[in-house]
Amino acid sequence: PQHKCRNKKSCPQNYFAFKIVSGAANVVGPSICFDDVVLLSSVKNNIGRGLNIALVNGTSGQPLKVDMFDMYSG
C-alpha cells in the first residue's frame, strides 16, 4: 500500500505524516513532505543552499510558510 509522503509505515490516527530528505551537496536537493503534500523540493524550485524550513500549524496541519536561509553568505 502507498502511505503518505511515501513512508514505509502509515501514521496512527490523529498524527501527521512527514518526510525530510537533506539532499547531497549540490547534486540532489533537499525536500520536505508534510501530510502527503510536498512543501519544498527541487521540482518546485523553492530550495536553496543553507537551511530550508517549512512552518506548519501543529494543530491543523496547515502549511504557513516555506523559506530558506543562506548560512554561507550571511
Do 40 and 52 touch, CB atoms closer than 8 A? yes
Give the pLDDT score at 23.
Answer: 79
The residue ranges of every structural domain in the chain are 4-70
Per-residue model confidence (pLDDT) at position 72: 80
pTM for the full model? 0.83
For residues 33 and 20, give the distance between their C-alpha atoms in angstroms, rounded to a whole number: 6
Classified as helix, coil or strand, 49 is: coil
Burial class (CB in 10 A: 0-12, 13-18, 19+), 60: exposed
Chain segment 1-53, per-residue pLDDT in tens: 789 999 999 999 999 999 999 877 777 889 999 999 999 998 899 998 888 99
